[in-house]
Amino acid sequence: MRAPPRLTLRVSFLEGLFSLLGISLLAALSAAAERHRLQQLVASFGATAVLVYAAPASPLAQPRNVVVGHLLSALLGVCVSKAFSGRVHWLACGLSVGLAVSAMGLTGTTHPPAGATALIAVMQSQSWLFIAMPIGTGACILVVTAVLLNNLLAERRYPLFW
């Protein structure tokens, strides 16, 4: 199998710009939400940005995979976190990711960055709110911006399926 061809300077620049815009929007919303002690940005969204802006044709980057994959993983991560309540932390970390991977596989919504979302939920002992905000809203914002930005390029169509 050959390595994929290098991108043109234009496409590479635009993918970087799209990532900058999507993550900056989430960071700005997160800063605005801080006064209410709400969070809008998590590290796993950085990897989601790579998929939706730089690999929009990938099945793993499609809206259903992004949104449902993150939501399922957040739900399972918070459930595991609550069930273990800080006990046997090493097992809770592994279990959250293992359950998330299995659930995404069973639902056809595999999104690799969502594995990190499950882990974040356990490592930071997140509350139930974590599922809705930042995860639900953040995943939706990234998908909406990916639809808008990717379709500005004549050679792209995003999404390929919902």
Mean pLDDT of 107-134: 97
Position 14 pLDDT exceeds 90: yes
What would the mean pLDDT of 10-15 be, rounded to a whole number? 94
The ranges assigned to domains in the chain are 9-150
Please report which confidence band the pLDDT of residue 122 belongs to, taking 50, 70 and 90 as the band edges. very high
What pLDDT score does 71 carry? 98
pLDDT at residue number 116: 98
| 41-93 confidence digits (pLDDT tens) | 999 999 999 999 999 999 999 999 999 999 999 999 999 999 999 899 999 99
Q: Is 86 exposed, middle or buried (0-12, 13-18, 19+ CB in 10 A)?
A: exposed
Residues 6+ apart with CB under 8 A from 51: 58, 60, 61, 66, 111, 112, 113
User: How far is residue 162's CA from residue 79's CA, in Å, rounded to a whole number?
Assistant: 27
**Encoded tokens for 37:** 């002690």
The reported pLDDT for the residue numbered 64 is 98
Q: With beta carbons less than 8 A apart as the criterion, state whether 105 and 59 touch.
A: no
pTM of the model: 0.94
What's the confidence (pLDDT) of residue 97? 98
Stretch (H or E) spanning 14: helix 9-33
pLDDT at 38 over 80: no
Q: What percent of the chain has pLDDT over 90?
A: 86
Indicate the pLDDT class of residue 107, thresholds 50, 70 and 90.
Answer: very high
